[in-house]
Structure 1
């Protein structure tokens, strides 16, 4: 069924019907990170805040902060806002003194290097947007930022890339707030389904640039709430089908597919070939998922479900 959609009536016909997909095979795709990993990450973020001191406000962002990361997460993002330092680009204001981004990065880099609690390496990222801290367990990307609003604890903020030379507006806390609202509006089913689709992408497109984690989350976020169900196998069918339909509409119409933050279009810089590859593989997988849902034996259901996730 790679060339077309699966009619919605086929989904409705399976609604509330028992299926033979083993629960353990569903949960392995929706599982979040362990309590041990949570403690490890929290301790690292707290220590980085201690190193930077009162001149900075730090917090976790991205998949970890949103609880949409897969269980095997090995990297986290930590924002480090330089307090009382404002973007002249995005505030439209002029200030009596200025500080270059090189200094903002170097201050953080120096403090991260001059510590003795962890055995880690510290270096600039290849794209020049963050400072990478690598421990034996995982990697933390520390993202230097400055304020736009007067309140350091409110969005937006400004971040910088040395590769592009562009100062960009970012809304990491809006991202978190919108994710929480969506999760609550879907009876706590949104975040497990995001993790499910991230695992699906990893299994089908690992080590490629087909789609980013943020784009995956945004596509799931754009799916209407009624498509999320307590039966996560059933949710995969509905959410996957909606995403495929949405991307097909985007192929012929200049519609905007909002990010989780609601401010930018996730298809703007998404290569058309990569987008088509993602959409076609998703259609194929939804078809396999439907076969798994309708299978009459546990073995048949498991085989189709594993095929859905390229296992």
Structure 2
């Protein structure tokens, strides 16, 4: 099974140090730099080549406060009126300029993240500039408020994307512990089978992202994991095939797994992946 290799650790260390440099134009915003994705969750396989790094600032944040009760939202507006002066667009522009100055013209913005090419002792890396997102449960005043803290970024067309990578990672770790260390190896099995099928054109790249595979398996009862890899695959797959997957939550515990929003898995893609797995298992991986 795959673990976090040294080049990935070195890549993260290098990029983190660069992003946290006090000479950066956004340094006063005190960015929180952390890993997300397969390397963060220790579910990477050999085909996972790049390292995903989040650079989040909390001094600017987005929120769902309008969904609070009227009096709570009014209190929120009063407390934070005119507080945001540094926009997400400016922050992303500053991060891009800083990374380009440090890693060269190969650095380029993508649909979501900023790409850093591989270098000496460094893998390819994607840096996602993000602001904090607050999913509110209660707001009385600044000293009495309760919310789930996530990240928020915007696509080039203005589409807002909200996610909760720290909750996702923590919940996957808990699931791993609760399954006697079977969860993460099982995720790798499902990912390796996906990669095998993509290479043989059984379905297209992008149908079954790693994030959603982790989320899907997060919903499988703990007693379906264990004994052997073969038994675990059969038990987890049989559960997934017969379960009401419309009730599944993402591993972050907040979003639904299946849906039509930018942060959910299309139901037909999940079904296509499971059907391809069944076909592959029946034929044998030959």
Work out whether the TM-score is over 0.5: yes
Whole-Å separation in 2 of the counterparts to 1:69 and 1:47: 23
Equivalent residue, structure 1, for 2:82: 95
Where in structure 1 are there 5+ consecutive unaligned residues? 1-30, 289-303
Check whether the contact 1:59–1:78 (CA below 8 A) recurs between aligned residues.
yes
- Do 1:185 and 1:225's aligned partners in 2 also have CA atoms closer than 8 Å? yes
> Secondary structure, in 3 states, of the residue corresponding to 1:85?
strand
Match of 2:150 in 1: 157
Q: Which residue of the partner structure matches residue 213 of structure 1?
A: 210
Quick one: structure 1 residues 134 and 38, their matched pair in 2 at CA, closer, same or farther if it must change by over 3 Å?
closer
- Aligned residues: CA RMSD: 2.6
Moved more, 258-267 or 86-95: 86-95
User: Please, which moves more after superposition, 57-66 or 137-146?
Assistant: 137-146
Q: Helix, strand or coil: the match of 1:259?
A: coil
Alignment of structure 1 residues 98-137 onto 2, 5 Å: 98-115=85-102, 121-125=106-110, 127=111, 129-136=112-119
- Picking from 154, 162, 169, the partner of 1:169 is 162
Secondary structure of the structure 1 residue equivalent to 2:255: coil
Work out whether residues 153 and 160 of structure 2, in 8 Å CA contact, stay in contact via their aligned partners in 1: yes
Cα deviation, residue 234, structure 1: 1.7
The answer to whether the 8 A contact 1:155-1:173 is kept is no
Would you say 1:36 and 2:6 are equivalent positions?
A: yes
Query: CA separation in 2, counterparts of 1:271 and 1:96?
Result: 37
The structure-2 alpha-carbon separation of the partners of 1:162 and 1:275, relative to structure 1 and needing over 3 Å to count, comes to closer
Structure 2 residue aligned with 1:13: none
Task: Using CA pairs under 8 Å that are at least 6 residues apart, name the structure with larger relative contact order, 1 or 2.
Answer: 1
Q: CA deviation at 1:58?
A: 0.5
Choose from 278, 281, 304 the match for 2:276. Answer: 281
Cα distance change, pair 120–175 in 1 and its aligned pair in 2 (3 A): farther
CA contact (8 A) 1:122 1:133 kept: yes
Find the aligned partners of 1:146 and 1:284 in 2 and give their Cα distance: 42
Q: How far is 1:188 from its partner?
A: 0.7
In the alignment, what sits opposite 2:53?
78
Provide the C-alpha distance between the structure 2 equivalents of 1:171 and 1:134, rounded to a whole number of angstroms.
26
Determine which structure has the larger strand proportion and give its number. Answer: 2
- Equivalent positions of 1:1-311 (< 5 A) are 31-51=1-21, 52=24, 53=27, 55-87=30-62, 93-115=80-102, 121-125=106-110, 127=111, 129-136=112-119, 138-148=123-133, 156-206=149-199, 208-246=205-243, 249-250=244-245, 255-269=246-260, 270-288=265-283, 304=284, 306-307=285-286
Q: CA deviation at 1:180?
A: 0.8
User: What is the CA distance between 1:34 and its match in structure 2?
Assistant: 5.0
Distance (Å, rounded) in 1 between the aligned partners of 2:251 and 2:222: 14
Following the alignment from structure 2 to structure 1, what is the Cα–Cα distance between the partners of residues 130 and 81? 18
SS in 1 for 2:45: coil
> What runs of 5+ residues in structure 2 fail to find an aligned partner?
66-75, 135-141
> Cα 1:273–1:61, aligned 2, differ >3 Å: closer, same or farther?
closer
Distance (Å, rounded) in 1 between the aligned partners of 2:100 and 2:115: 11
Distance 1:182 1:98 in 2: 40
Q: Which has the higher helix share?
A: 1
Aligned pairs, number = 248
Structure 2: distance between partners of 1:142 and 1:194: 24
Name the larger-Rg structure. Answer: 1
The Cα of 1:271 is off from its aligned counterpart by 4.1
